[in-house]
Structure 1
Amino acid sequence: MIALLLPLLFAAAASQADHHPSDPILRTLVEGEAAQAQGDTASLGRKARMLSVLGAAPAPGQADLAALWREKAQASGAIIDDPPYRGRALGPAYRRGSLLPGGSMTMRQLFLGGQRAQIMVAPTGESNGHLSLKVQGAKGETLCEKPVGGPQADCAWMPLFTDRYHIVIENDGEEAVSFYLLVR
């Protein structure tokens, strides 16, 4: 029941603050990073718990931010309960990245046929830079291409067949930009 209400709570909060991503996981990642930068360990602990409750897991090779934030908050004396484990087979995966001016990042991701696929990007910090998101099919056809002009950009589609897709993030701005990538 609580898991069903969480997205609604985040949607209500998103309408009050348009400068944060509307997706609950991206919002939690960006707000958690801000709490960490400000040294607000109580808020950092809440964001760690929220990230776990939402079922987000780091992409392979990425740090588990929920665990790191939880440890940091607990080291400062905050008490954080672990969420119940329910064994999700597939869930959202996040990745933190940074691109220098003129830089790009390409990764391949497998999406299952007949299941909704979604990719979202949210810049961190004050600068949005000039990030863009592009998704290409296995044969190179562009399925989605968007600038990251606000708190987040997303591409969603329904793959007909299980296949690998190319995710391309580019920074054509004049300053380095950090971001979170969320794959559902």
Structure 2
Amino acid sequence: MIKLLLPGLLMMAGPAAPAADLSPSDPVLRTLLEGDAAEGMGNHGALLDTAQILTALGAKPADGQADLATQWTQEAHDHGVTDSGLGFRGRALGPAYRHGSLGAGGSMTVRQLFLAGQRAQISVAPARGAANLSMRVQGADGNTLCAKPIGGVQADCIWLPLFTDRYDIVIENGGAVPAAFYLVVR
């Protein structure tokens, strides 16, 4: 009798709920992680697509960081990919991104100028399954504006500076293994 009822109950339950989207909501972070994944899988066609999307989003590398759009484009060309089906035009200004890696227990501080009266946003996403990362934003006076664990796909700190000033962005690895991440500053 149970064998007869089970198929009927399963049909009445309906389709399974779709899996939650595990991608960051920030388009630059999402593109950086997609490019990272494409590079890791050796999918050079997708790598060229993500390089062009990154350029179209107007994202630029932070000072001293590699230009991933250029690097990924070159890597795709080196592997015989000559054209992408994407046709985007970029903006002159846009967010800055940074790729970083921290050793176990390590931390990194980036100083960034933000303008008074303009929305400031810091977004961080763990790369390649990194865990135990956290971020903190501190004003020039040393007060913490935002402190969050970087869990899931993305963590954000958003505020409106009252004065034009430099802020410290601190990324910490509280884990026992190295952890990589992407940081986007808007």
TM-score band, normalised by shorter chain: 0.7 to 0.9
Aligned counterpart for 2:44 among listed residues 41, 48, 54: 41
Structure 1: 4+ residue segments shifted above 3 A: 80-86
Q: Could you report, residue by residue, the CA deviation over 1:71-99 in whole angstroms, capped at 9, with x for unpaired residues?
A: 121232321477435433xx200011111
Tell me the amino acid that sits aligned with residue 77 of structure 1.
G
Q: How many pairs are equivalent?
A: 167
Aligned counterpart for 1:19 among listed residues 22, 25, 28: 22
Aligned counterpart for 2:89 among listed residues 81, 84, 92: 84
Alpha-carbon distance in 1 for matches of 2:159, 2:19: 28
Q: Could you report, residue by residue, the CA deviation over 1:110-160 in whole angstroms, capped at 9, with x for unpaired residues?
A: 000010000011011023x21111000100011000001111101000001
Once the two structures are TM-superposed, the CA of residue 19 in structure 1 deviates from its matched residue by 2.2
CA contact (8 A) 1:144 1:155 kept: yes
Once the two structures are TM-superposed, the CA of residue 17 in structure 1 deviates from its matched residue by 5.2
Aligned to 1:94: 97
CA contact (8 A) 2:119 2:160 kept: yes
Aligned counterpart for 2:62 among listed residues 43, 59, 64: 59
Alpha-carbon distance in 1 for matches of 2:19, 2:115: 35
Aligned to 1:175: 177
Alpha-carbon distance in 1 for matches of 2:116, 2:37: 36
Aligned to 2:158: 156
Alpha-carbon distance in 1 for matches of 2:104, 2:92: 40
After TM superposition, list the pairs within 5 Å mapping 1:100-179 onto structure 2.
Answer: 100-127=103-130, 129-179=131-181
CA contact (8 A) 2:57 2:90 kept: no
**Once the two structures are aligned, what percentage of the paired residues are identical?**
58
Tell me the amino acid that sits aligned with residue 60 of structure 1.
D
CA contact (8 A) 1:134 1:169 kept: yes
Once the two structures are TM-superposed, the CA of residue 42 in structure 1 deviates from its matched residue by 0.6
| Cα 1:110–1:126 shift into 2, 3 Å | same
Q: TM-score scaled to structure 1, two decimals? A: 0.85
Where structure 2 has 5 or more consecutive residues not aligned to the other structure, the ranges are: 1-17
Once the two structures are TM-superposed, the CA of residue 69 in structure 1 deviates from its matched residue by 0.8
Please tell me whether Structure 1 or Structure 2 has the larger radius of gyration of its CA atoms. 2
